[in-house]
Structure 1
Amino acid sequence: MKKILSSLVLAVLVLGGYLVFGKSGSSTGPQPTGDSQEKFEWIAYSTWPESNHHTIGLKEFAQRVEEATGGRVKMTVHSGGALGYKGTEILSVVRDNLVQVSDMSLGNVAGEEPVFGITTLPFMLQDMQEGYTLNQLARDGYNDLLSKKWGQIILYTAPWPMAGFWTQKEIRVIEDLKGTKMRTYDRNTGLVVSALGGTPYPLPFADVYSSLATGAINSCLTSTPTAVDAKFWEVLKYYTPTSVAMTQDAVTINLNVFNKLPEDLQKIVLSVGEEMQKKMWEEVGPKLDKTMEDLCVKKGIIVTQPSEEFIAALYNQTKDIREDWLKNAPEEAKKIYADFMAKIGR
């Protein structure tokens, strides 16, 4: 069986329209031991395009599971939002078994489940390691909530790089952001843009390029992989890596579907999920931002490094967003926040 993703080095092939991780060996987790040869076929879904690292990771996960189960569990991956479900709908889509497995941006579903808003609080996370720390502290709480309220559990999580401003004009101070029409990806990033004097446009990824090309929006608050996926160099000029927020995705499975698996297959699926999480956080995440930024620069994007004064001003301008969220957050979110701050000593 043809295998994918063994190399740990990212190779970006934009002219071909896709991103390649390499090939990977078979899963090293538990092997199927049950007598039953019943087979299970699932639909796995991603709103992100083929070239995005989350879609590539989901396809690798499906491949590894199929190999590790001897073909007894097979997933057909639909990417690019091909089934019509929006990112904000994924909690309900998996709960209702419209798809059995799906990737979802936690920030996107914070409207339905406020606890996930913690993942995109402005300037709460300062680097990838802090994002991983938050993920580890919150994982059990997330799973408890998802299983009881939404009928699903997490198989693995994966990061996005930190978000910055992508614009048609150079951004040096907060005043430069006033009047911008900026695409945002969740409630928190929308509040950030409003606090900085811009107008937020919460558009799905599929609408971003056309909205930029027609002038419906003129800027984006997002990370480098989205810039590559949407070919920002064709419609924007500048990138200011301010590390405003960092979100993460979770791949979940419908709980009833999971519970129908024999115990040996359950163990394999969970084991492969652990392997994918390790790879996405330790091997893909840290390299991805630099790779994507370099590609944007090669295509013509001008990177403007923010001054310390600008970052401090952004932090102060968004202080109320963090405080208001914490005041109104559910108790489980407040506990995660407190545990995280204690863990990192801030």
Structure 2
Amino acid sequence: MKKLLPMVVTSMLAINAYADELPATHLKVVGSVGTSASYRDFEAPFFGEELAEDSNGQVTAEIRPFNEMGLKGGEILRLVKQGVIEYGATIMAYMSSDDPVNEAIDLAGLTTDYDSARAVTDGFKPYLSKVYDDKFDAKLLGLWPNPAQVLYCKGDIQDLADLKGKKVRTSSRTQAEFVDALGGTGVTMAFGEVVPALQNGVVDCAITATLSGNLAKWYEVSDHIVELPIAWNQIVLVVSNKTWNNTAPETQAYIENKVAALESRIWNEVKYQTEQGYECNQGLDSCEIGYKGAMTLVKADDEDRALLHETLLAEVVPKWAERCTAECVEAWNDTVGQVVDVKAAP
């Protein structure tokens, strides 16, 4: 280790020297949901502190989550295109009404494990970048997951079949179609509306990230959490082409490198965050980064996984393919479909 130390110090000095040469740049960023683990643990510190520290004050940023600005998250791409927002982050699925391509990597039941979720995301990213550039005049900078999206329910639930007859909060059209296919009723509502909705019986269950639901104290208004990822609610970070083209090339390269590192860091942490969500909601001693609840963990069995996959094939993928373009479906089949061994009919 002693031999490596001079090399490490030299590299750090070189980075700092490079940062000192960057032109002064200030970024105005709209972040994702303020109560989410992604915003709390990554977005806020990255833009609010890390960039300035790392660049010796040459690249600074201000960030506010969209939900604190009176936005619902689905408007981000439109506002970026209009020049109202320079840098914006939001959950992709929230923008499905703008273009069904935003659902492509997170169809309900598509990926139930970390490795396939990352492979699907990485594979589809180049096509998504092209769509954002062509249709929304925006550059895709980063794309990362939330912890696994799972079911929180008020009242006893033993398996997915128990969703029949229940009203379930969903955060995307594809999740609603999944719930409807199982005989439940998908109710799309904003994250901040869920606690009173569960409390007052407006919905019986709700889908969100294991840790995000914990941080928002959903364990106070629900008592069962199902250990089966339904989705990942990937977050996308974009910048308007106008803003980007007016940024110095050396600063562009610096920002891209830093965001790529952030993206990798989030992917590397999401497994831990997912497990922490389960553990904290149950109130286990292993809970380290959330609040301790007293929920019952419902472990999914092979029948649940089979039902989830069957619903994906019979209902979710076909309905999504009907509303996406032929080019979109072809790109999906060549990337996402290859990873999960599913083919969508254009």
Paired position in structure 1 for 2:173: 187
Paired position in structure 1 for 2:290: none
Distance, in Å, in 1 between the alignment partners of 2:323 and 2:200 is 38
Paired position in structure 1 for 2:30: 45
Q: CA deviation at 1:91?
A: 1.0
Paired position in structure 1 for 2:232: 246
Amino acid corresponding to residue 27 of structure 2 in structure 1? W
Amino acid corresponding to residue 317 of structure 1 in structure 2? T
Q: Structure 1 residues 174, 69: closer, same or farther in 2, change over 3 A?
A: closer
More helix by share: 2
Q: CA deviation at 1:174?
A: 4.4
Q: CA deviation at 1:122?
A: 2.3
Amino acid corresponding to residue 253 of structure 2 in structure 1? K
Q: Paired residue for 1:305, among 299, 310, 313?
A: 299
Q: Is residue 31 of structure 1 aligned with residue 18 of structure 2?
A: yes
Q: CA deviation at 1:99?
A: 2.5
Q: Give CA deviations for 1:127-184 in whole Å, capped at 9, x if unaligned.
A: 1111111121112211111122112112222112332221112222444212212110
Amino acid corresponding to residue 288 of structure 1 in structure 2? Q
Paired position in structure 1 for 2:77: 91
Q: Structure 1 residues 27, 131: closer, same or farther in 2, change over 3 A?
A: farther
Distance, in Å, in 1 between the alignment partners of 2:245 and 2:318 is 40
Q: Give CA deviations for 1:88-114 in whole Å, capped at 9, x if unaligned.
A: 111112222322212111111122121
Distance, in Å, in 2 between the alignment partners of 1:87 and 1:194 is 24
Which TM-score applies when normalising by structure 2?
0.84
Identity of aligned residues (%): 17
Q: Structure 1 residues 278, 317: closer, same or farther in 2, change over 3 A?
A: closer
Q: CA deviation at 1:33?
A: 6.7
Distance, in Å, in 2 between the alignment partners of 1:98 and 1:327 is 32
Amino acid corresponding to residue 88 of structure 1 in structure 2? G
Q: CA deviation at 1:268?
A: 0.5
Q: Is residue 316 of structure 1 aligned with residue 310 of structure 2?
A: yes
User: How many residue pairs get matched?
Assistant: 319
Secondary structure at the counterpart of residue 77 of structure 1: strand
Paired position in structure 2 for 1:342: 338
Q: Is residue 58 of structure 1 aligned with residue 43 of structure 2?
A: yes
Worse-matched range after superposition: 284-293 or 74-83: 74-83
Q: CA deviation at 1:244?
A: 2.0
Worse-matched range after superposition: 261-270 or 88-97: 88-97
The question of whether the paired residues in 2 share the 8 Å contact of 1:30 and 1:271 is answered with no
Paired position in structure 2 for 1:329: 324
Q: Is residue 77 of structure 1 aligned with residue 71 of structure 2?
A: no
Q: Structure 1 residues 301, 74: closer, same or farther in 2, change over 3 A?
A: same
Distance, in Å, in 2 between the alignment partners of 1:52 and 1:173 is 27
Q: Paired residue for 1:142, among 100, 113, 128?
A: 128
Q: Structure 1 residues 60, 26: closer, same or farther in 2, change over 3 A?
A: farther
Q: CA deviation at 1:250?
A: 1.1
Q: CA deviation at 1:85?
A: 1.5
Distance, in Å, in 1 between the alignment partners of 2:107 and 2:231 is 6
Q: CA deviation at 1:217?
A: 1.7
Distance, in Å, in 1 between the alignment partners of 2:134 and 2:13 is 33
Which TM-score applies when normalising by structure 1?
0.84
Amino acid corresponding to residue 114 of structure 2 in structure 1? M
Distance, in Å, in 2 between the alignment partners of 1:212 and 1:26 is 53
- Which blocks of at least 5 consecutive residues in structure 1 are unaligned? 1-24
Q: CA deviation at 1:225?
A: 2.1
Q: Structure 1 residues 234, 47: closer, same or farther in 2, change over 3 A?
A: same
Q: CA deviation at 1:297?
A: 0.4
Amino acid corresponding to residue 293 of structure 1 in structure 2? Y
